[in-house]
Amino acid sequence: MTWLGFQLRALRYPHGPVDVDADNPEAARKLVIWLENLKIREYKIEDRKPLADTASPTWGAAFGKYLSDLSCPVPSTDLKAAVEWLVAFAVNLEYEDNADKLPPPAAPAPAPAPAAPPAAKPAAPASSRGAQAFTDLADPATVAAVRELIRVAQVSEGAGIVDELQEAADLAVAAVGPALAAGGWTDGRAARAALAHVPLGFNVEGEALNRAAKALRLAYVQDLRRLQSQIDHALVEMQEYTANPKTDSSLGKVGR
């Protein structure tokens, strides 16, 4: 999912991800009026008409005025950047409105997660580039931001910035992961690492084949477990009819 798509999901935008295309601006224009109507509410309702008329040739001018009224630093000619800025702005407003109602990040959080990927946060405020914030890894600001992130994550230092960041990411996954919807996290690294410790029980040539064989074994064991649980369930149902355990302590006799 793109960063824009992620933000739109957080805003509960009903029309799915938007492809901002200057040659075919209809979708972007609809998004703009939706943002104004439901999230930003800069104008009074009657003043929103020029923006709402997405087919009008004067829409561009109305959009330019709208951006300047919002003190947007991005020119209206760069439609893509402007839309991204608007969306980020809307997320900010949404967060300000609801910050006290949102659960802390580790608790199961519903879709609005404006504060979500912490990695983007330190570099994000002035940038309209969202997830692509870390383009220059040598930039001292970037390094400082990463250092800050590692400090906040309480990762012990000394292993080198890459390993520390990896550890911070693992911690974040562990903390946030449970709150994400099923299938929301697709990074296979943790699974691959766990797979390395699984004994296969026989030998095959090659790392990839080995991993595949292990995955098959695990799938098989899972099937076996499911079958066993069904058997257990059947046994318990049978016990409903047959079981009647009794003890009679008068029968008991302790030996010598």
Partner 1 sequence: MPRTYAEEMSYIRQLSPVSYEVAPGFVPGMRVPGTFYVNDSLKGLLFEELQAAVQRGDHGGFLPAVKQLANVAALPGIVKCSIALPDVHSGYGFAIGNVAAFDMDNPEAVVSPGGVGFDINCGVRLLRTNLTEADVAPHREQLAQSLFDHIPVGVGSQGIIPTTAKDMEAALELGMDWSLREGYAWAEDKEHCEEYGRMLSADPRYVSARAKKRGLPQMGTLGAGNHYAEVQVVDEVFDEVAARRMGIDQVGQVVVMIHSGSRGLGHQVATDALVAMERAMARDGIVTNDRQLACARIQSEEGQAYLKAMACAANYAWVNRSSMTFLARQAFAKVFSSTPDDLDMHVVYDVSHNIAKVEQHMVDGKPMRLLVHRKGSTRAFPPHHPLIPADYQLIGQPVLIGGTMGTSSYVLTGTDRGFAETFGSTCHGAGRARSRNNSRNKLDYTEVLDSLKAKGISIRVASPKLVMEEAPESYKDVSAVVDTCHAAGISNKAVKLRPIAVIKG
| Shortest CB 240 distance to partner 1, Å | 10
**CB closer to partner 1, 44 vs 253:** 253
C-alpha 8/C-alpha 140 separation (Å) is 31
**CB closer to partner 1, 152 vs 221:** 221
**CB closer to partner 1, 132 vs 222:** 222
| Shortest CB 14 distance to partner 1, Å | 45
C-alpha 253/C-alpha 85 separation (Å) is 84
C-alpha 45/C-alpha 31 separation (Å) is 16
What token pair was written down for 161? 């910035």
| Shortest CB 204 distance to partner 1, Å | 13
Q: What is the DSSP string of 1-51?
A: --HHHHHHHHTT-TT------TTSTHHHHHHHHHIIIIII--S-GGGGHHH
**CB closer to partner 1, 45 vs 219:** 219
**Over the range 129-165, which residues count as b (16 or more CB within 10 Å of their CB) and which as e?**
ebeebeeeeeeeebeebbeebbeebebeeeeeeeebb
| Shortest CB 154 distance to partner 1, Å | 23
Contact residues: partner 1, CB under 8 A? 197-202, 217, 221, 224-225, 227-228, 231-233, 235-236, 238-239, 242-249, 251-256
| Shortest CB 234 distance to partner 1, Å | 8
**CB closer to partner 1, 205 vs 237:** 237
